Amino acid sequence: MEQKVSTMATSTPFAGPLQVDAWRLTEQALTPAQPLLCETLLSLANGYIGTRGTLEEGLAGQSSCEGTYLNGVYSSEPIQYGESACGFARNNHTMLQVANGKRIYCELDGERVELSGALEHQRSLDMRQGVLQRQWQWQSKSGKRLLISSQRLVSMQHPELLCIAYQVTALNFSGEIAICSELDACYAPFSKKDDPRVGVFSIADTLNLQQQGFAAQQGWMLHQVHGSDFAVCAMMQHAWPAVANNISQLQLKPGVLCEQALWSLQQGESASLTKWVLYRHQSVADTTDLVQRCALQLAELSQHSFASLAAQQASACQQFWQQADVQIEGDAAMQQGIRFNLFSLWQSAGKDGRSNIGAKGLTGPGYDGHYFWDTEIYVIPCLSFTQPAVARQLLGFRYQQLDAARQRAREMAHSTGALYPWRTIGGEECSAYFPAGTAQYHINAAIAYAIRCYYLASDDWHFMREQGIEMLVETARLWLQLGCFNPRRDGAFEIHGVTGPDEYTAIVNNNFYTNAMAQLHLRFAVEMAQKLQAEASEQLERWQLSAQELALWQQAAERMYLPVDARLGVHPQDDSFLDKKRWDFAATPNDKYPLLLHYHPLVIYRHQVLKQADVVLAMVLLDDAFSPVQKARNLAYYEPLTTHDSSLSACIHSIACAELGQLAEAHAFFGDSARMDLDNQHGNTEHGVHIACMAGTWQALVFGFAGLRSRYDGLHFAPRLPAQLPGLNFRLNYRGRVIEFRVQQGQAQYQLLTGEPLVIFHDGEALQLALQQPRQRPLLAGEAV
């Protein structure tokens, strides 16, 4: 068999720029080769504001990607097609990039204090504190030295607030120093036009300045957002201790405000300031008093010192870790990886029901900040068990966009139902390349899957009644619009002209994953609709959902076309996949990966080659619908064909391997996922972290090694640990309870920490769990099949 040269499942040495540490991300010296990477990794966010870990002083002359983003807020502009056609996505949304409020720098004897004069530099993000700290020394041309330190936080408590404490100490001289603090809406754009995964992010193109000024110690700017209905206000306020003199407020140019103070320092003395920056957005129609409201809010928030905001932040972090932490024994690098992943998910996830979580979170310009199925298949399953309230908000966001999805279905000639966009921010389809965009109808099934996942974990019937079932019904309707009962295949229900998760194959008939997920979707929709009907609800009438329609869905699910290839004994990825030539991996040099950057799509589409898990993903998500033998055959067939060029893939193969007891392979895939961003394994973390992969890492531990499956009758565990992971410990939120899972010395221990007693299953055996009465069972052996 040909040799696949894959970047994945190779135990990589830890090549990242940050030190390995269980709780901290520390950069010991500036890494000039990788400034962009560290900017991403040291990002701070709270679900609304996200800001990259760029330096307060900026990086003069070096490549840097400045970025502060507001989640759920976007600019919109028409997509330019050389050749357009009916139904093509019309506009692209771009996550809003706002004025940079982080900029602070000093001047000494007319010389600007820049990183080029740094003697040493260290920065560190402690994930228990949620504060980014920097300390560095600078020397002027004449030998005067300064010690500069800063602390920065994006408040979890106050979603509109960013705060910085900045301090400068004169180490070996006495003299005058100026500190300048800016609000800058004119910073340089970042773009990489040859890479389809990166957007062009230019702040100047997206914000039209309406007003700017200083009033009562506050500097502010009001912008209207290009092509959209948003106005955004950015405002800064400072506290300069009394020793500062000559404070001046300057408008350097339209879009740049500066406040400057002069200090006379004796040797050993420090100058310091606190800077509060507030961001808010509003519909344009409603901006009359936006600036006044921001001014009042900022005046109030600036009553909190940096220390008191930092204390609030630490307590929010503590609560978060109490729910979500995962402990791994014996591997500090993996421990750091999983914590960083969980922390990043928490930081970037929208928490207000009006925003979601982008493929790159709030950490960079990748994919224009768009939301994909990544949320529903990767993030929501993790959040349903760790932060159910946030999972609920993310689903609520999709409900907000249901009308837009209905409209999109009409545009695509479907007379009923709703079709969610493959990629979007505001609800409109933004995918300019439809074969790997709009054609991915499985987005509808992903939303249904996430609703099911959240419901099984939370038992939140109120959500189902108010929002969940309506989304299920409207999205289920699409399958009947899309598919047909094929008389040439004995009336099997088939779905044609779609693209599955694997984007190296496009527009096919009967993508196995899509058909299998549509089946799950239809069955669940019928079940939930019937449950609602039993409450004598009038909702079904409102949705004009008849018994006949439900029967048709049931029929389509029963007759869903899910073939097994008689010769190979595997599920064909689609009708034509197995007939194609296999990709020649032996003749593909390592530097030709990812294939999408080196080969025309048609070249790729003609071959048996996968970008990411497809049939294997269906096996993982659909749990016991397939036998272990069938799962093993599919994995053995598709794994050698999978490049894992998508970061969404390795974690899924880890789960598939773990379930089959292939623990060494499972561990290698887990390792690739756990540190994908810290070690920049895909070479593009500088554009933002890989959110789906981060949540997938949690899934690899919990669904993979602990073998958790959430079924109607409860939680089923089948824990098998690889030799490299002797211990694993995590908590699950489950239907109002907290359950702790812990592996120690070859035993799995289950303990109910809060809530009513319940029954869980260990390798099929029912275990009664009562408060604080741990139950132990031996781990399962490897190689289950």
- Asked if 503 is part of the footprint of ligand BGC (rule: CB under 6 A), the reply reads yes
Catalytic residue (choose from 57, 503, 639, 665):
503
For residues 731 and 325, is the Cβ–Cβ distance under 8 A? yes
What's the CA gap between 328 and 727, in Å, rounded? 6
Q: Shortest Cβ distance from residue 664 to ligand BGC (Å)? A: 27
At 320, the amino acid letter reads F
Among the candidate windows 175-183, 372-380, 453-461, 731-739, which touches ligand BGC by CB under 6 A? 372-380
Nearer to ligand BGC, 7 or 139 (CB): 7
Strand partners, 716: 709, 761
- Binding-site member from 121, 477, 611, 667 for ligand BGC (CB under 6 A): 611
Q: Shortest Cβ distance from residue 447 to ligand BGC (Å)? A: 14
- Asked if 506 is part of the footprint of ligand BGC (rule: CB under 6 A), the reply reads no
Nearer to ligand BGC, 442 or 523 (CB): 442
Active site residue 57: no
Among the candidate windows 108-116, 128-136, 369-377, 671-679, which touches ligand BGC by CB under 6 A? 369-377
3-state secondary structure of 307: helix
- Asked if 646 is part of the footprint of ligand BGC (rule: CB under 6 A), the reply reads yes
4 is in an annotated binding site: no
- Asked if 446 is part of the footprint of ligand BGC (rule: CB under 6 A), the reply reads no
Nearer to ligand BGC, 35 or 427 (CB): 427
- Asked if 514 is part of the footprint of ligand BGC (rule: CB under 6 A), the reply reads no
Please give the radius of gyration of the chain, using alpha carbons only, rounded to the nearest integer: 27
What's the CA gap between 27 and 39, in Å, rounded? 11
- Asked if 648 is part of the footprint of ligand BGC (rule: CB under 6 A), the reply reads yes
Nearer to ligand BGC, 224 or 647 (CB): 647
Among 194, 418, 110, 153, residue whose Cα is nearest residue 309: 153
3-state secondary structure of 80: coil
Q: Peptide bond preceding 594: is omega within 30 degrees of 0, i.e. cis?
A: yes
- Binding-site member from 372, 399, 493, 698 for ligand BGC (CB under 6 A): 372
Which value, to the nearest 10 degrees, does the dihedral of the CA atoms of residues 635, 692, 346, 525 take? -80
Considering only residues 673 to 692 of the shown chain, the ones binding ligand BGC according to CB under 6 A are: 692
Among 280, 315, 312, 346, residue whose Cα is nearest residue 47: 346
At 704, the amino acid letter reads G
At 779, the amino acid letter reads L
Nearer to ligand BGC, 692 or 748 (CB): 692
Q: Shortest Cβ distance from residue 434 to ligand BGC (Å)? A: 14
Among 212, 315, 283, 296, residue whose Cα is nearest residue 254: 212
579 is in an annotated binding site: no
In this structure, the number of other CB atoms found within 10 A of the CB of residue 110 comes to 6
3-state secondary structure of 209: strand
Give the CB-side neighbour count of residue 237, counting CA atoms within 13 A.
21
For residues 359 and 378, is the Cβ–Cβ distance under 8 A? no
Give me the helix-helix angle, 512-534 and 442-458, nearest 10°: 50
Q: Shortest Cβ distance from residue 378 to ligand BGC (Å)? A: 9
Name the token pair of 422: 């493959």
Considering only residues 721 to 750 of the shown chain, the ones binding ligand BGC according to CB under 6 A are: none
Q: Shortest Cβ distance from residue 685 to ligand BGC (Å)? A: 13
- Asked if 198 is part of the footprint of ligand BGC (rule: CB under 6 A), the reply reads no
Per-residue contact string for residues 562-601; x = within reach of ligand BGC by CB under 6 A: ----------------------------------------
Considering only residues 4 to 23 of the shown chain, the ones binding ligand BGC according to CB under 6 A are: none
Count of residues interacting with ligand BGC (CB under 6 A): 12
- Binding-site member from 166, 201, 276, 373 for ligand BGC (CB under 6 A): 373
- Provide the sign of the torsion angle of the four alpha carbons 637, 639, 643, 647, taken in this order: positive
192 is in an annotated binding site: no
Q: Shortest Cβ distance from residue 359 to ligand BGC (Å)? A: 4
Contacts of 306 (CB under 8 A, 6+ apart): 151, 153, 163, 164, 165, 274
Nearer to ligand BGC, 219 or 366 (CB): 366
Name the token pair of 210: 């309406």
For residues 187 and 66, is the Cβ–Cβ distance under 8 A? yes
For residues 72 and 356, is the Cβ–Cβ distance under 8 A? yes
136 is in an annotated binding site: no
Nearer to ligand BGC, 136 or 372 (CB): 372
Nearer to ligand BGC, 426 or 707 (CB): 426
Among 10, 49, 405, residue whose Cα is nearest residue 233: 49
Per-residue contact string for residues 320-359; x = within reach of ligand BGC by CB under 6 A: ---------------------------------------x
How many contiguous H segments (helices) and E segments (strands) does the chain have? Answer: 21, 31
Q: Shortest Cβ distance from residue 618 to ligand BGC (Å)? A: 14
Give me the active site residues, please: 503
Residues belonging to the binding site for substrate are 373-374, 611-612
Residues belonging to the binding site are 373-374, 611-612
- Residues at the contact surface with ligand BGC, assessed by CB under 6 A: 359, 367, 372-374, 501, 503, 611-612, 646, 648, 692
